[in-house]
Chains A and B, each alone.
Chain A
Amino acid sequence: MKRFSQLAIPYVVWVILMILLPMLLILFYAFTTQGNEIVNFTFTFDHFIRFFTDHDFLLILWRSLVIAFKTTVICVLLGYPIAYFIARSSDRVRNILVLAITLPTWINMLVRTYSWIGLLSEGGILQNLFGLQDTELLYTEGAVLLGMVYNFIPFMILQINTSLCKMDSSLLEASADLGANKLQTFLRVTFPLSLSGVISGIALVFLPAVSSFFIPKLLGGGQFFLIGNVIENQFITVGEWNFGSAISMIMAVIMMLCMYLIRRVDEHNNGGRQKKA
């Protein structure tokens, strides 16, 4: 056993170098002043105070959460039926459909988002196709929402699909034997059992959606800032690494909270089912 535990050393080193150290640096920057010089610094809470006392920043944070929430809801509503359909298909069809969902994710997200610019832009394909010459499609909240749903929905579909496929089909037969119709079976057997897939799908969609910065930048335009853009801006343009790190910390805490809540719901769900059984 001891021999094997040594195999973990490279992994531990990797984690320290690639995850822990950067996180510690962010933490350090978030609580200090003095720009990028590590030699001279003083500890401070100013960056956090500044963020939480500024109405504008809080509003942006709120808007980011709202748009991530909307994205997640749409992904569940659209993703569930698709995943259900895929799970119920024959093996061959299912493999093809799963591949079709996965394939686009092999192409860089940035490239795929750029292609939406071409589709949505004024005088672009979509406007001409649907006779929407007078409606602005690009640089709207709708465009950002579309970009997010488009980029993140594969994660939702694949998660739900996996949990549906894992389900024991004898449960459905039992349900039918006991006289439940298809809707009842779905509501009382299939859906509750697939809920863990939905929940991990929600985690995989909501978290990247909250912090996404290039989708709003490309599809929302320079006047559409979400919290990810504020952070990017602090690092790239303003050069205020400390304030940028502080906002990153705040986001990290919010995300960990979300993860915690999501996991609690999941556990509660599993626990509840076991009690009934």
Chain B
Amino acid sequence: MKKLLASALVGALALGMTGCSGSGGQEREFEGQELHLYNWGEYMGENLISDFEEQTGATVNVDYFESNEQMYIKVANGESFDVLVPSDYMIERLIQEDLLQPLDKDKLTNLDQLSDGVMGLDYDPNNDYSIPYFWGTVGIVYDKTKVSEEDLEKEGYNIFLDTKYKGDIYLYDSERDSFMMALKALGYSMNTTNQDELNKAYDWLVQCVETMEPEIVTDEIIDNMAQGRKALGLIYSGDAAYVMSENEDMGFYMPETGTNLWSDAMVIPKNAENPELAHAFIDYVCNYDAAMDNSSYVGYTSPNEEVMNELSGEGGDFEGINAYIPRTGNDKDEVFKYDEQTRTIIAELFSKVKVAASNVQ
């Protein structure tokens, strides 16, 4: 008798459960489907993925990359992803090599929420292939108690050659950013292909590592500057925003001689298995809630204008932090262009800069 009762109970429960899933809520659009996302590490808001899964019923598989080049190799080798988040110059390369599919703008309803400053940049003038994810600039993070603003204004990037700050600076371990700094310090375009100008930039960097005892780091700069360990460093604006929100002695300065305006954007590769869902994801990220989650958690500037204004405005997480709002309107600011030949030259020269830096010790 007891057994019978138990089985009846189980049966009733089971019925109840199936009944529930049958009648409860309307069918979600992408129930059971899968999105394969390839993004930078530490680059998403805490609830971004779970909220999207909740809303659409899809499952998101995320892979992470550390550099555009690493991502490129996988994509070029034919591995299938639905959405990638490469940087500007890499998007240009992917377009050139015909690895991306054009976006169907009818499926993207939230595009009008994005700032003009980040739309239509040179790498994809009509945003046919890419929708911005984060954007920003590169500049100098400095300790206001150790560095005079006058020096910064007078010297710009050349402050990295000012022996007053010897042993007190960080360089960023990336050939593109280092050469951007050197080329801008010398007044050239950062997209120059002129060998003579590149050589001069190389000399500038060698002078820097030979006379200034810099530490060449990557993301360590974020925590170390937040704790005020050195006076000066080259830094991404989004990281500077974090540093400044942690330590109020820190400032962010963009030299008048120009800087790199960059953007990481979402694209759909040609071999994506679920472009429908990919469009839904891109549209979802542009919308206010997701963009807010992303930007307030990661600290990089949101392309969503309302989010950007709110976070930098009164009471926002980045109130009064100039690094959060990318500079627009300086015509010396440039977006990186993809040019394989120059990239190789710069990589080679930067490897020699590091060799020189090692040999100083």
Contact = CB atoms under 8 A, between A and B. Distances in A.
B215 A221 contact: yes
Contacts, number: 65
A238 B214 contact: no
A177 interface: no
Secondary structure call for the B interface? helix
A237 interface: yes
A28 interface: no
B161 interface: no
Given A222-B215, A225-B354, A59 B359 contact: yes
A57 B351 contact: no
A195 to B, nearest CB: 35
Contacts of A236: 69
Category for how many chain A residues contact B: 20 to 34
B359 A240 contact: no
A239 interface: yes
A229 B352 CA distance: 12
A136 to B, nearest CB: 9
B50 interface: no
Interface string B58-72: 000000000001000
B343 to A, nearest CB: 8
A94 interface: no
Given A122-B229, A237-B175, A225 B355 contact: yes
Contact of A123 (B69, B214, B227, B358): B227
A60 B359 contact: yes
B359 A56 contact: yes
Category for how many chain B residues contact A: 20 to 34
Kindly name the residue among B171, B344, B359 whose own CB sees the greatest number of chain A CB atoms within 10 A: B359
B361 A141 contact: yes
Kindly name the residue among A123, A233, A238 whose own CB sees the greatest number of chain B CB atoms within 10 A: A238
Contacts of A70: none
B209 interface: yes
A59 B361 CA distance: 11
Given A123-B227, A230-B351, A238-B347, A223 B357 contact: yes
A128 to B, nearest CB: 13
B116 interface: no
B352 A56 contact: yes
Nearest to B209: A223
Interface in A174-221: 221
13 contacts: A56-B352, A60-B358, A63-B359, A123-B227, A222-B216, A222-B357, A223-B209, A223-B215, A233-B354, A237-B69, A237-B175, A238-B344, A240-B348
Interface of A: 56-57, 59-60, 63, 122-123, 139, 141, 221-226, 229-230, 233-234, 236-240
Interface of B: 69, 171, 173, 175, 209, 214-218, 224, 227, 229, 344, 347-348, 350-352, 354-359, 361
